[in-house]
Structure 1
Amino acid sequence: MPYNDLNAEEIRVIENRGTEMPFSGKFSSFYENGVYTCRKCNAPLFNSNDKFDSGSGWPSFDDAIAGAVKEVPDADGRRVEIVCANCDGHLGHVFKGEQMTPKSTRHCVNSISLGFQSNNENSKYKKAYFAAGCFWGVEYWFQKQEGVISADSGYMGGYTENPTYQDICYRDTGHLETVEVTYDPKIVSFERLTKLFFETHNPEQTNGQGPDIGSQYLSAIFTNDIEEEDIAQKLINQLEDRGMNIATMFKNANAHKFYIAEHEHQNYYKLRNSKPYCHSFIKRF
């Protein structure tokens, strides 16, 4: 496999095992959704869902893509270097036992060693949008579903541009707490995702979800096309045939912009190694 041409600074870090200055790299405070790749050979290394703010000044990940990163103990035995398993390009070091995340692992990586492929630019992935109460719990369940590339908390359905969490809680923005699900349709279908949506919240509640009361917590599916709406309606019909009174709304995803929530609202339960207080799984299909 041909390698990318590297400039002098990239050679110093990637090939000669140097280190960039903390807080200087472009990925230090970068939190878009996608896959981080090796700058030298383009091999996928880390998923954005595994990135967290360690305060160190370098991009930090509590996990790597399986088989993508090799650990090499330093000669002095004090630290463990991490390199790309495909090309042996230097990435940084790995630290364990710090208890910053439930996995207690920190892959501390030089930004200059990385490239990035956005999920939005990957045509093989699709997006679905679900509102089912507090987005922390909704995100939790979709992250567990095989075939889901990322599940990101945000705001959708209202009329306020660039809303904040404070706006959602204390102002009339019209937005619902919504999770954007990026998924691989070859692995998981929209129907399976919608079943999971109905099985992890109470779709009959009309004033919120669980103890969270308010219009921002209502149940809704933002459909991208008539096919998705037909699938969701078929599932609602099945539930109502069993005696349920479904309150879930349909909204047009193409008529509403999704605004991603602040960084502190992403991966909420994953980073705390805990479970949602108002979202539990109930088999309905």
Structure 2
Amino acid sequence: MKHKIINPNLSDFEKFVLFSKGTERPFTGEYENHFKEGIYVCKNCGIPLYNSSDKFHSGCGWPAFDDEIPGAVKKQPDRDGIRTEIVCAYCGAHLGHVFYGEKFTPKDVRHCVNSVSLLFVPKGEKPPIDRMFFAGGCFWGVEHLFKQLEGVFDTRVGYMGGTWKNPTYEQVCTGLTGHYETVEVIFDPKKIDEETLVRYFFEIHDFTQESGQGPDIGEQYKSVIFYTNETQRRVAEEVISFLKQKYKVATQIKRASDFWLAEDYHQDYYEKTGKVPYCHFRRKVF
């Protein structure tokens, strides 16, 4: 994964850890014994990574978590060939390593994270950026329209919801992997909120169609909102409840899971080709 260096105010040591896969000395990090309520975001890009409710004291000298925010952390083989490295799924910044089988908590997982890779956001405050995932047919059109929405910081297309690891476009198109063509919408919560995103999603695709979207028929083209926190889930449920008073709604609500980036030629497809969406357009719904 290529790094996206977003924070211009990083210290030399923070850059060493985040981008050269360094490690802070044990028992020296700011968050090792930190247990206030809130979330921990990536020091580089600001994406939420961990909830304070999943943090525990391991005695190992670094902050420990037994779960991550859905879709926020990518696990990959470490360069030492032994351990499993964890990185920010958005910007690729190095976080630490993940270990299994230590029996610290019932989940039996320990994300061992460098404090300098994190920034704490107290409960009630908004993170620098946040993300939601939307599936609504061909991801080319969904991404194209979300990119036009003020407050959207970035978008990426990929696959979510299935069981296969790192699926290809050809595999997803068989409809057998369980994945949906999905758009990751990264937004500035100070400029746009979850309800605006969800309402916009329902205005740019046919949420009444059960089998796909327009001429694109298949499991991978169905309508789904993937949430990463309870606020997003609640908002999605409330908007769907409102729409059901007037429409048949086929959209599903699912907890986000691993997000596998689609091949490069799918990213920003309409900007690259100069074409226009064939089954996505904005219409008045609310």
Decide: shared fold, TM above 0.5: yes
The match for 2:170 is 166
Change in 2 beyond 3 A, CA 1:171/1:210: closer
1:101 corresponding residue in structure 2:
none
* Equivalent in the alignment of 2:49: none
What residue number does 2:255 align with? 252
Query: 1 CA distance for matches of 2:272 and 2:209?
Result: 29
1:186 maps onto 2:159 in alignment: no
Q: CA deviation at 1:36?
A: 9.5
For residues 171-200 of structure 1, the C-alpha deviation after alignment (integer angstroms, 9 at most, x for no partner) is: 510000000011100011111111111000
Partner in structure 1 of residue 268 of structure 2? 267
- Output the amino acid matched with 2:279: C
Matches within 5 A, 1:51-70: none
1:251 alignment partner, SS class: strand
Residue number in structure 1 paired with 2:199 = 195
SS at match of 1:174: coil
Distance 1:267 1:142 in 2: 11
Q: Which residue number corresponds to residue 229 of structure 1?
A: 233
Instruction: Write the mapping of 1:87-106 to structure 2, written as runs, cut at 5 A.
Output: none
Question: Larger Cα Rg: Structure 1 or Structure 2?
Answer: 1
- C-alpha distance in 2 between matches for 1:274 and 1:247: 28
**Aligned match of 1:152:** 156
Q: CA deviation at 1:274?
A: 2.5
List per-residue Cα deviations over 1:114-169 (Å, max 9, x = no partner): xxx93978951101000000000000011001111111100000000000101111
State the SS of the aligned residue for 2:156.
strand
1:216 to 197, 220, 230: 220
Tell me the residue number matched to 1:124.
128
Amino acid at match of 2:244: E
Structure 2 CA distance for partners of 1:171 and 1:132, relative to 1, 3 Å: closer
Deviation, 1:238, is 1.8
Residues 156 and 34 (structure 1), Cα distance of their counterparts in 2 relative to 1, 3 Å cut: farther
> Does the aligned pair in 2 maintain the 1:208–1:215 contact within 8 Å?
yes
CA gap 1:31/1:266 in 2 versus in 1, 3 angstroms: farther
Contact 1:119 1:182 in 2 (8 A): no
Are the equivalent residues in 2 in contact too, given 1:140–1:269 (CA < 8 A)? yes
CA contact (8 A) 2:135 2:180 kept: yes
**Residue in structure 2 matched with residue 50 of structure 1 by the alignment:** none
Pairwise CA distance, 1:32? 5.9
**Equivalent pair of 1:127/1:182 in contact (CA under 8 Å):** yes
Matches for 1:21-100 after TM superposition, within 5 Å: 35=6
Contact 1:219/1:248, CA 8 A, preserved across alignment: yes
In structure 1, the residue matched to 2:123 is: none
Contact (CA 8 Å) 1:33, 1:150: kept in 2 or not? no
> What TM-score results when the alignment is normalised by the length of structure 2?
0.57
| Partner Cα separation in structure 2 for residue 267 and residue 226 of structure 1 | 29
Query: Is it true that 1:283 corresponds to 2:284 in the alignment?
Result: yes
Distance in 1 between the 2:272 and 2:8 partners?
Answer: 23
How far did 1:34 drift? 6.5
Q: 3-state DSSP class of the match of 1:179?
A: strand
Q: Secondary structure at the match of 1:118?
A: coil
The farther-off stretch of 119-128 and 264-273 is 119-128
Specify the SS of the correspondent of 1:151.
strand
Gaps of 5+ in 1: 1-29, 39-116
Letter in 2 for 1:226: E
Separation in structure 1 between the aligned mates of residue 5 and residue 216 of structure 2, nearest angstrom: 31
Relative distance call for 1:275 and 1:197 in structure 2 (3 A) is same
Aligned length: 176
CA-CA distance at 1:275 after TM superposition? 1.7
Q: Deviations over 1:86-130 (max 9, x none)?
A: xxxxxxxxxxxxxxxxxxxxxxxxxxxxxxx93978951101000
